Structure 1
Amino acid sequence: MENALQSFFVSIPQAAALWLVILVAIAVAGAYVGLPRSAPVPPLTPAQADEMRYADEVVVAAERAAATAARRRAEWAAAQERVDAAWRAFDEADRIAREGAQAAAFPLMSRRRKPGENADRQRYLHHAAVAACRNRQISIAQLNDVLAHRGWNPRLHPVVQEGLLRNAVRAHRMSQYEDAQKLEQAAWQESELAAEALRTLRAEAATAIVRAAVTKESPADDEWFADQWATGEIPATKAYA
């Protein structure tokens, strides 16, 4: 009898622990069952699929437009740098030409020319013009004018010819500056057009995304909304005599 009582009292804590485990398991299972379940996502209708597809296409187009706008902006910045460089080159050529004009203000001594001196002066002019063209100080067209003696007198003194070449370099630099300005203006217009296209596509992408989201959450057609109303729920209109 004493051994039976001792066994009974020893088994009480084990039974209590087992019941506690069972109660905890039941509570966890009940809490899991009581959790709210999300309804399965209904399949997209053709209209919803079209809206989502269009939104994706517009987003991709906006990304490409952003890359194009960045490239146009970089091209415009490069064109601005070329304008600045062309102006610095013209400013330097103008300074050199003005210095040459000041030196040419002193009269040259007039003396009889030696035999063959005119040929030497012509060779000097041609050589100086070719060197200037090779250094891209004058254009090919200007070089052709010098070699053909169109507007150039090969019999002039080398000092005078040097001054005229400096003026030709200044004119060429000014022409380059004007061309750089035109290219910069064209690059700016292209950059503005690309930026405007990007703004338009981004606005359209935002609208398409919102429209696709609304279409995804809204009924597929208007008849669904009408079916949700029972006849008795529609307020009756009151007739007045």
Structure 2
Amino acid sequence: MEKTVLYQFLIDVPRAAAIWSVLLVLALGVLTVLVARPEPSGPVEKTTDRDALRAAAEETDLRRYAGEVAVAAAGAGQNAERRRTAWRVAQGELDRAWVAYDEAEAAARRLAGVTGLPAPRTPRTPAEYAARERWLHRAAMAAHWRGDLTVRQLTDVLAHRSGWDPRRHPAEQEAVIARVVRDNRLAAYRSAAERERDLWRAAELATEAARSLSAEAYAAAARLRPNRAPASGRAVVERSDLVPRWRPARLG
């Protein structure tokens, strides 16, 4: 009995080992085939196509953005030029306002010296006062037509309000009119100076905006052509000193 069992064991063990060896060889062969088998080309092609579409879409967006920035830069450059032109006009008006004030100041000083002298003796008759009133009205009307008196000031003169006394001697009246004209021209000069300063600041801001947009347009064009500089990349505004600094106004 023991010999039979031992005999059976010695026969079955090699047979089982042989079977397991064959299964192991088959398993290794299948694994080798799976590892060595090339990946299917379908997903790679799909990935490549997706990347190409993405790249094309990005380039389209870049071109559209570059075009929009270029248009904005051109518009900003034109706006900066308009602002600079307006500032130059205001600067000329400021210079003329200063000349007008300087002349009025000199006239008021000269007439102030004359009024320090004794007034000429004239008969104080109704005819004399009527003549003085007519002189005052004519002088005020002339100053108004020159732009030296406002409508309200002329109305005050004709109505003898706000200190206008037609009984004064014409020399005194002339000095009063000269002082009013000087004050009006001084106010006009200060208004022109404020306007010139505001337009200068606006021109500076417009120039800076044009410069920034020009730089952005150049960068956007460079991103489209990374291998060479864009032909149209020259800045719209090349220097920051296109708008000169405001010169402080002079008084007296």
Is the TM-score greater than 0.5? Answer: yes
Shift of 1:182: 1.1
Structure 2 distance, partners of 1:196, 1:164, is: 48
Match of 2:136 in 1: 125
Shift of 1:101: 1.0
Structure 1 distance, partners of 2:69, 2:216, is: 7
Superimposed CA distance per residue, residues 129-188 of structure 1 (whole angstroms, 9 cap, x where no aligned partner): 011110112222321222222221111011100111111111111011011011101111
Shift of 1:109: 4.1
Match of 1:80 in 2: 91
Match of 1:158 in 2: 170
Aligned residue type for 2:91 = Q
Structure 1 distance, partners of 2:133, 2:122, is: 18
Structure 2's unaligned 5+ residue stretches are: 1-51, 227-252
Match of 1:185 in 2: 197
Aligned residue type for 1:48 = E
How large is the RMSD of aligned CA atoms in angstroms? 2.0
Structure 2 distance, partners of 1:141, 1:174, is: 18
Match of 1:172 in 2: 184
Match of 1:47 in 2: 58
Aligned residue type for 1:197 = A
Equivalent runs, 1:1-241 vs 2, <5 Å = 45-110=56-121, 112-149=123-160, 150-214=162-226
Structure 1 distance, partners of 2:83, 2:125, is: 61
Structure 2 distance, partners of 1:101, 1:207, is: 66
Q: Which structure's CA Rg is the greater one?
A: 2
TM-score by length of 1: 0.67
Structure 2 distance, partners of 1:158, 1:136, is: 21
Shift of 1:50: 1.4
Structure 2 distance, partners of 1:81, 1:97, is: 24
TM-score by length of 2: 0.64
Percent identity between matched residues is: 43
Aligned residue type for 1:213 = R
Structure 1 distance, partners of 2:147, 2:120, is: 33
Gap change, CA 1:192 and 1:71, over 3 Å in 2: same
Matched residue pairs, number? 174
Structure 1's unaligned 5+ residue stretches are: 1-41, 215-241
Superimposed CA distance per residue, residues 68-112 of structure 1 (whole angstroms, 9 cap, x where no aligned partner): 111111111111111111001110111111111111111114554
Superimposed CA distance per residue, residues 111-139 of structure 1 (whole angstroms, 9 cap, x where no aligned partner): 54122322221221111101111011222
- Structure 1 SS opposite 2:182: helix
Superimposed CA distance per residue, residues 20-46 of structure 1 (whole angstroms, 9 cap, x where no aligned partner): xxxxxxxxxxxxxxxxxxxxxx99712
69-78 or 201-210, larger mean C-alpha shift: 201-210
Aligned residue type for 1:80 = Q
Structure 1 distance, partners of 2:89, 2:56, is: 50
Aligned residue type for 2:149 = I
Aligned residue type for 1:147 = L
